[in-house]
Structure 1
């Protein structure tokens, strides 16, 4: 019998599997596709996800290939948030096609001993008191099963977990095409009464157009996107077609917005799009899914290896469900701004854009939220205020950093009053103000503070 079966070999499933192996759990990934999807739904890796990668020592692989963008957009507004002010070693978003991100994550997963079985379709499962039977191309028994199998999750449906929310009322579009007359900047945004779009440079001489327009405001499926339709829409919005030709991928996406009622039911858990779906505003979907996996991985590994009781898994829903709910609230708000073109919404967009440009504190709050640097998990009232917060990359007197110490995926104890060879000798010079008086702290494998004291 397997300890853990992860259903779905996309970025979320691969990261979760690697985290489980790092925690000592045996894990098998079942992926229905024979080959990796060549198309990239996601392009953006946000600062907190880069920190997660850094905590396992593999961020440089991604930085070497991605394009750093020192700003981000809220609802496609003209004024962009400045990420350079963020308290992180990675004050930028990284543009990297999902197909390559997934390839790098699979290399990492395989390197730590994950077994990935491709062509393994899962049709259903049955929960027992002591195991889960997974049925599909083959039958597998496991102590726990995690559904990382997307918005139409078979695991979620078979486990009987509700997925409440709303169906699509508007549709966006994207096209990866070759341009004979590309814009000079790596990211171009254009918004007006005819709609809004972004043009993003991709590797291999391809540009992505992504946007929405008034014709997409409908509940029924508009049909497959054609190059002629994309060209006409871009011309209406931007005034020219940039010499587009040779489409590599044309697609549509809707604003279906749903969240699983439970992230855990018995021995079945959910992560990523299986737990929450939304309009892809801000490019946060892949990031939130990887952060789900970072939260769940060390906990599930501790349970299946006997180092923690199964009740620890309840904290996964307690901590990540509110993050998903806030994600849906933010994407719904942005969707309203991005897909309505009335004079009133146009005025609201202009006002909010001015706030971002003229009120640094407002821009900073939005940037912290979008980048997930502000995520804090609930903690008992009698604990230190830092409990549950993300820990910054503290630099220690012996030359190491907190992110370095987290490479093995273990809890890290910091004791500045009684240093040993295994731990830093002191907090850094000029630490963040809230860390200046900390004498001891325990950092979880996902980089959040488990406990701290002065």
Structure 2
């Protein structure tokens, strides 16, 4: 074996997968077709759930100062995300190029082997391993791994070579995205429709302006490269009457509204994550964020299987948990597209929808959907309200007088059993998993009823931050939860 795991693609999903695998103690090789990063930034910023994910790994400090906001939208209709009490705010205007640079350095710091200028051209799944053929700077090579993780984007070579089914709907229109300099345009939010389509203007750091141009009736085109800026300027003038042809393009891209999702996230020894598994209209900045969260869900599970501490059936939960999330992603982006890409016939619905989001319950529902905060996994029996939910960030006091919080306990990417009642029976039941689960005795620094841990005596948190088991309740089912997620006891 050249490595236990090969990851195809050094975008946000691939780099996150590599780092999470290294946290799990697994050697990993990342193969990236491009010799160097493009510098393009289709994604901007992080949703609240991704902020929590990065916080639990100590990554937020690696980003320069950034703005946060609790204001968002659904299909261009403003939504107050502040109704989600206690949730992290979303980060704004962090270019995807910066995110990729931070993730790549994190993965390298952890020991990931990242090889650029290496393109996968073939693969063979033997049932015991995966052999990939690569073009390494004009030289054909073969590499073998136990597992191959495809994170190589919406046009994924891995997905095609492995024969994944990718049903859905084809693009019905072509749209443009461009970052430019040298224009003085007033900001325009998504949702401000024009007779012929929709445009957006957003300021970015460094004197750069982001433009999005959606011209109704623009048919999808098969392109071998990015469009010329002249196409963007012409469409802009047709829609707004303003000439921006003098602007200096930083980069230009075309995209569509195709919506597809693979029927299975794992096929034999090949696993997909991120855009390789699902493509959709970029609405609400969700694509990169969901891709990162796919990889955080997968990393520790695949690491456990590779190390032999868990059976391959654990990977079935990657599909069941993340395929459902992807399905919701496709649902809400299609709904948003109808709202902000349709013509005047949609205006009555936009106005009614705008009235509905004024209700707190409606705003909370939509905000939870777009931010990922609505996610609740099916982790098995028990009725504790935290089961399947993400562990809320809560201050903790340790027996030696030090303080920490529930998020900091996840820095190393290990599972945590949090004993909040100093219960020796609980700790004894978990003793057989001590090499895989950190047992921490602590008390909550906030004892008020507002604390999400109020009345909770113990919590078993998976490495991805989701609660697998919680008490009060019978401690007899704790070993079942430990076996389910972390394999048989020693």
TM over 0.5: yes
Distance 1:225 1:34, change over 3 A: closer
Whether 1:301 aligns to 2:299 is no
Distance 1:427 1:68, change over 3 A: closer
Deviations 1:280-322 (A, max 9, x none): 1111100000000010000011111121111111110011111
Q: Which residue matches 1:429?
A: 447
Deviations 1:192-232 (A, max 9, x none): 3232222121222111011412233x355599644444334
Q: Which residue matches 1:107?
A: 105
Deviations 1:150-196 (A, max 9, x none): 1121211222211111111122211111144243x696763232322
CA distance, structure 2, for counterparts of residue 291 and residue 266 of structure 1: 22
Q: Which residue matches 2:58?
A: 57
Q: Which residue matches 1:194?
A: 196
Specify which of 174, 178, 191 is matched with residue 175 of structure 1. 178
CA distance, structure 2, for counterparts of residue 94 and residue 50 of structure 1: 11
Whether 1:86 aligns to 2:84 is yes
Distance 1:419 1:198, change over 3 A: farther
Gaps of 5+ in 1: none
* 1:441–1:451 contact (8 Å) kept in structure 2: yes
Number of residue pairs matched by the alignment: 447
Q: Which residue matches 2:408?
A: 404
Distance 1:88 1:187, change over 3 A: farther
Per the normalisation by structure 1, the TM-score is 0.92
Residues 55-454 of structure 1: pairs in structure 2 closer than 5 A: 55-62=56-63, 64-77=64-77, 80-88=78-86, 90-137=88-135, 138-183=141-186, 190-216=192-218, 218-220=219-221, 225-235=227-237, 237-238=239-240, 240=242, 245-343=247-345, 345-356=346-357, 358-398=358-398, 399-418=403-422, 422-426=440-444, 428-430=446-448, 432=450, 435-454=453-472
Distance 1:120 1:99, change over 3 A: same
* RMSD between superposed Cα atoms in Å: 2.3
Greater alpha carbon shift after TM alignment, 90-99 vs 268-277: 90-99
Gaps of 5+ in 2: 136-140, 425-438, 473-490
Q: Secondary structure at the match of 1:96?
A: strand
Shift of 1:106: 0.3
* 1:177–1:244 contact (8 Å) kept in structure 2: no
Shift of 1:90: 2.6
CA distance, structure 2, for counterparts of residue 61 and residue 265 of structure 1: 35
CA distance, structure 1, for counterparts of residue 245 and residue 216 of structure 2: 24
Per the normalisation by structure 2, the TM-score is 0.86
Deviations 1:294-352 (A, max 9, x none): 10000011111121111111110011111111111111111122221032x11111221
Shift of 1:131: 1.1
CA distance, structure 1, for counterparts of residue 68 and residue 255 of structure 2: 26
CA distance, structure 1, for counterparts of residue 389 and residue 143 of structure 2: 38
Q: Secondary structure at the match of 2:247?
A: strand
Between 1 and 2, higher relative CO (CA 8 Å, sep ≥ 6) is seen in 1
